[in-house]
Structure 1
Amino acid sequence: MTAINMLRLDSTNPDFARDLQQRLAWDASDDLDIHQRVLEIIANVRKSGDQALIDYTNRFDRTNFTTAGELELDKAALKHAWDSLPDDQAQALQTAAERVRAYAEQQKLQSWQFTEADGTVLGQKVTPLDKAGLYVPGGKAAYPSSVLMNAIPAKVAGVGELIMVVPTPGGETNAMVLAAAYIAGVDRVFTIGGAQAVAALAYGTETVPAVDKIVGPGNIYVATAKKLVFGQVGIDMIAGPSEILIICDGQTHPDWIAMDLFSQAEHDENAQSILISDNSEFLDQVEASINKLLPEMERAEIIRASMTGRGAFIKVASLADAAEVANRIAPEHLELSVADPEALAAQIRNAGAIFMGRYTAEALGDYCAGPNHVLPTSSTARYSSPLGVYDFQKRSSLINCSAAGASELGKIASVLARGESLTAHARSAEYRI
């Protein structure tokens, strides 16, 4: 097997910013052909409802449904999946669910209000969404952990009804996915997928209810559909390829670091794994570990393509410099494999999730640490955050003016409204003076 020679960058190089940007560049431009096909699917689902869902599902997933009722799995099927799981899988799912729920409970936004001296009351009312939709990949690409990460915050938020859609190619279901739906409290499950499932959740059909927000990962058709229905419904995010950035001081075992890099590279060829260190000899050691461990990996060719096509080693002058490079990259996952991770974390402004210390592998966050694994990618951590309970809550402003408050505020509003030539606004306020 040909050895991997990792791309090396140096932060002290005058061309570093340009070279880094080239490595980070991700072509997320829309495929116009896919865009057009998704538009047609959405239009057909809006027009023909359940019949369009049946036709698309039979066509794309090789099923033989004849009625819309066959598209829904009953609660008994979910419970049977849970009851039938091997003990080790059931225990792992249960423990992960409990940890995700305990973390989510800390995120709930609360309503609040205060009273001004004249008796006017101002505040904020927090309410959950009525309905949310959860897209789950199906068939062999099954992720029960994503069910927990998306469903549990919704239920903790108090969402009235949580609808899950999961394709079942060739009638194939995944027991752990259904079991995860059961213990997470999913209310209804439909065996549909692709852009047609997103359209059904956005606009509703005779059988599938329309929701207020759609969350969950999917392929390019699903991602494109989520983009196109945004506005009709809310969405969580449009996720790019998975990313990991590791800052290491050279004192962690190089095999550990190599495997942590692999943990994201194995997702797909476009995933990005980057290591930053102030120790060039350590970078050499990790490269040796990569080449030693790669032949053992089941997804070796995917890892190789990812590491050679999008991976990088970055030499910096100091850990403070490493923090600044990390802030520029704004990674999805950031490991701080250093002696004092708390001090380094204080310098980090942009990251989806920060894994602190030598013993905190990113993979723990993917499954069972507790914080959500739905994270901003493609440098969007500069302005966005992990999925959480707050994504399933709305905030309404509260204003309750006393007579005295209405009189004083009315004078101010009158002046401002007349300054904008909005006379009705002004007179509406002036009536209360």
Structure 2
Amino acid sequence: MPSLRLSKESLLNEFRRVRTLDKYVDAVRAIVNDVKARGDEAVIEYTRKFDGVALTKIEVDIDELRVLASKVDKDTAQAIDAAYRSVEDFNRRLMPRDFEEECCGLIRGVRWVPIGRVGIYVPRGYFSTLIMTGVIARVAGVKELVVTTPPNGDGSISPEIAYVALKLNARVFRVGGPQAVAAMAFGTESIPKVDKIVGPGNAYVQAAKYLVSQYVGIDGIEGPTELVVCADPSVDPGVVALDIMAQLEHNSAIAVVITWDEKYLNAIESRLNNLNYLSTLVDGPKDCVDLINELAPEHVTLWGLGNLINNIRNAGAVSISMPSAMIDYVAGPSHVLPTESSARWRGALSVYDFLKPVAYVKAVSKDLVSDLARHGASLAVREGFNNHARSITEWLLTGNLDKSS
């Protein structure tokens, strides 16, 4: 993507340019189907082909995890522990409560139930991703975590991933790419079938997630990293530029700079030589918010403009006068975020991605519920479902109430 200063309209068009997965889906479909049919045998073949590793053992057993984790230096271990606690604490505060009420002759309520087994795809060496997914799943109450990550050339995995996996009591498999996604979706002799797959990955991994999404849940189809920065001219342009430079370290990342002072924008841009990004000038803070909501980006940073936070509707996560990299590692929210404008309907990965609301109703008084029941029967007849209506009316006449406590 070129470094361009654009009008608002041109910026929207450039940002929304479709990054299709079609060519990847066609290439990945055969791999997914092969893993579904042949299990471990196919997984081993594709790992040899794509990673250059001849697997003799797919799972990283507990003893190997412990040996690897012991190689993590003290400072890194302390940093991982701090990030773990921060993400854990933030997501505990998001946990919903079960509720039950009595209304119109019914007891009705909702129980929040965790997903049984979750698969986590962790790109090679990205141990922070395991923190940002696995910790949240554990907070939600998920009992089984299955982690896949591409092996190094010698067949090992990152010591830091092993360290986090031990804290999570997760099973780890040295498999990456589309074959890992397919293995988790369908199960193999070694890798258990999961109920939902979460985690980032390249276009081939995303294509595999798309293909298996009719069989298991997924968190979303993610594209390149996105950052939109809106900066007040009173903020040090060097600090703002570093925020942008940080996200541009990701492959194919998209960064946008918005402000309303041309000299200030020039000062930021002078620090971004040879980097690819987009920029635009707006009339003021309100226009900046409006543009952010239209773009619906993954990351947003409001530099010196924290008072605008209540007006931001469409963003994966917002950093206020703080680098977006804080969210990537330690601030608390997950760094698994919606891209490609999907922030219009999704947010950051959270406990809600690992929970299901199980609703229930129970009649406690036919007299009190009779009016509501008759309305239900009437609606059923109106839609042409006569047996729906009969099931209600006959229950009112002859059915028994549940007396269990």
What TM-score do the two structures reach when normalised by structure 2? 0.93
Structure 1 unaligned spans of 5+ = 11-15, 292-303
> 3-state SS of the aligned residue for 1:168?
coil
The equivalent position to 1:107 in structure 2, one of 90, 94, 101, is 94
Cα distance in 2, alignment partners of residues 322 and 222 from structure 1: 34
The equivalent residue for 1:428 is 391
Residue 327 (structure 1) aligned with residue 293 (structure 2)? yes
Is contact 2:165–2:171 with CA below 8 Å preserved after alignment? no
TM superposition shift of 1:89 = 0.7
Cα distance in 1, alignment partners of residues 188 and 69 from structure 2: 29
Structure 2 unaligned spans of 5+ = 397-405
Cα distance in 2, alignment partners of residues 346 and 417 from structure 1: 43
Cα distance in 1, alignment partners of residues 14 and 98 from structure 2: 44
Q: Note closer, same or farther for the CA distance 1:89–1:426 as it changes in structure 2 (3 Å cut).
A: same
Letter in 2 for 1:25: R
The equivalent position to 1:315 in structure 2, one of 270, 281, 285, is 281
Residue 7 (structure 1) aligned with residue 4 (structure 2)? yes
Aligned residues: 394
Residue 38 (structure 1) aligned with residue 28 (structure 2)? yes
What TM-score do the two structures reach when normalised by structure 1? 0.87
TM superposition shift of 1:432 = 2.1
The equivalent residue for 1:362 is 324
Cα distance in 1, alignment partners of residues 131 and 335 from structure 2: 10
The equivalent residue for 2:71 is 84
Letter in 2 for 1:161: E
Cα distance in 2, alignment partners of residues 316 and 36 from structure 1: 41
The equivalent residue for 1:193 is 176
TM superposition shift of 1:239 = 0.8
The equivalent residue for 2:16 is 25
The equivalent residue for 2:61 is 74
For 1:206-225, list aligned pairs within 5 A: 206-225=189-208
Residues 78-103 of structure 1: CA distance to partner in whole angstroms, max 9, x if unpaired? 23333321111111111111111111
> 3-state SS of the aligned residue for 2:292?
helix
CA RMSD of aligned residues (A): 1.7
The equivalent position to 2:255 in structure 1, one of 273, 285, 298, is 273
The equivalent residue for 2:303 is 337
Residue 416 (structure 1) aligned with residue 399 (structure 2)? no
TM superposition shift of 1:331 = 1.5
Letter in 1 for 2:163: A
Cα distance in 1, alignment partners of residues 149 and 242 from structure 2: 31
> 3-state SS of the aligned residue for 1:55?
helix
The equivalent residue for 1:180 is 164
For 1:237-316, list aligned pairs within 5 A: 237-268=220-251, 270-291=252-273, 304=274, 307-308=275-276, 311-316=277-282
The equivalent residue for 2:144 is 161
The equivalent residue for 1:391 is 353
Residue 131 (structure 1) aligned with residue 117 (structure 2)? yes
Letter in 1 for 2:327: G
Q: Note closer, same or farther for the CA distance 1:416–1:221 as it changes in structure 2 (3 Å cut).
A: same
Which portions of structure 1, spanning 4 or more consecutive aligned residues, are displaced by more than 4 angstroms?
none
TM superposition shift of 1:172 = 4.1
Cα distance in 1, alignment partners of residues 2 and 315 from structure 2: 27
Letter in 1 for 2:162: L
Is contact 2:21–2:203 with CA below 8 Å preserved after alignment? no
